[in-house]
Amino acid sequence: MPSFLSIVYQITQECPLDCEICLRKYTFREKPINPEGRRNMVDILKARKLGRLNVTGGEPTILGDELHKFLIYVHNKQIHTCLTTTGFRLNREKLMQMDGYVDQMMISFHSVEPSDWQAMYSHRRFATELYETVMNILEWCKDTSIIMEVNTVVHRKNIGQITDIGWKLQQINPNIIWRLDEYYGMGLKEHKRNDFELGCGEFESISNEITGKFDRLFRDIHFTSLDQRKTSPGFLITHKGELVTTFDFRHTSTGFHLLRGAQLPEFKMLRDWSEYKKVCRDWGWGDL
């Protein structure tokens, strides 16, 4: 099945958690787009026939009402609205409200042990609170129409409990998409590679085990190996409005800034790697 070209918008770089396995590389030299600028950006994207926007961070929820107003604006433009979040300080009331303007939510779950969450994040109080919040969100979302996608990054420190994670998720809410990604260190976290990256064949082995044990027990299960993660084509709008490609986790500028009069081409349907490269060529970026 073809899918719309994936556009991710990093609405903020700020996050209170500082996760050890975070893939983001932060620079705070330029201020983010203001609320009016964000709305103008959405209008430009809609005019170019964008069908889906994934809003991520940093941690988007720290923006509070500013985030929710933006998501409502995106949704009202009839753009499939996805929110990637840790779940930080979300509650049942907020989730029920978001059911009206968030089509999909992506949330992380890397361990069944609260102590592991405390070790993974630098702020232990936030981590303890977050574990309980994520468990609740998985339960609360049963009463919504939000498509819930749970992401588990598989690494050296949790590979032994991936099966336990699967049973825990299946027990709480089998109507989720469970996505398992092989860890890949980059950016400011590159020095963590030896602590987290798996050995040869380990991810393939755990993928086969999970498929055998959980086939048809979830809404769907997706696996992304290290090589697939490095070469997955995608496009991202930075917090300052610049459109970049994300091939091999490198943020390569396309030369387009959404709010500086750039004449963007229409966003097309993207089916595979060859079409991604064709889009790059057609848009004048070369083979990025």
Residue 201 gets which letter from DSSP? T
- Specify the 3-state DSSP secondary structure of 85: coil
Residues whose CB is less than 8 angstroms from the CB of residue 8 and which lie 6 or more positions away in sequence, other chains included? 53, 54, 55, 56, 84, 234, 235, 236, 237, 246
Q: In whole angstroms, give the CA distance from residue 182 to residue 188.
A: 18
- Which amino acid does the sequence have at 93? E
Q: In whole angstroms, give the CA distance from residue 229 to residue 23.
A: 11
Neighbours of 199 (CB within 10 A): 9
Q: In whole angstroms, give the CA distance from residue 138 to residue 150.
A: 9
Residues 22-78 pLDDT 10s: 766 555 556 889 999 999 999 988 887 788 899 998 899 999 999 999 999 999 999
* Cα distance from N-terminal residue to C-terminal residue, the chain: 25
Residues 245-264 pLDDT 10s: 777 667 777 778 888 765 66
The answer to whether the predicted template modeling score (pTM) of the entire model surpasses 0.75 is yes
Asked: is 3-282 a CATH 3.20.20.70 domain? The reply is yes
- Average pLDDT for residues 239-244, to the nearest whole number? 88
Higher-confidence residue of 234 and 270: namely: 234
Higher-confidence residue of 109 and 15: namely: 109
Residues 162-205 pLDDT 10s: 999 999 999 999 999 999 999 887 655 566 778 888 998 999 99
Q: Is residue 287 pLDDT above 60, yes or no? A: no
In which band, very low, low, confident or very high, does the pLDDT at 226 lie, cut at 50, 70 and 90?
Answer: confident
Q: In whole angstroms, give the CA distance from residue 144 to residue 151.
A: 19
Give the residue among 152, 149, 155, 117 at the shortest CA–CA distance from 133. 117
Residue 91 φ then ψ, to 5° = -130, 175
Q: Is residue 160 pLDDT above 50, yes or no? A: yes
Please answer whether residues 107 and 146 qualify as being in contact, where contact means their C-beta atoms are separated by less than 8 angstroms: no
Q: Is residue 221 pLDDT above 70, yes or no? A: yes
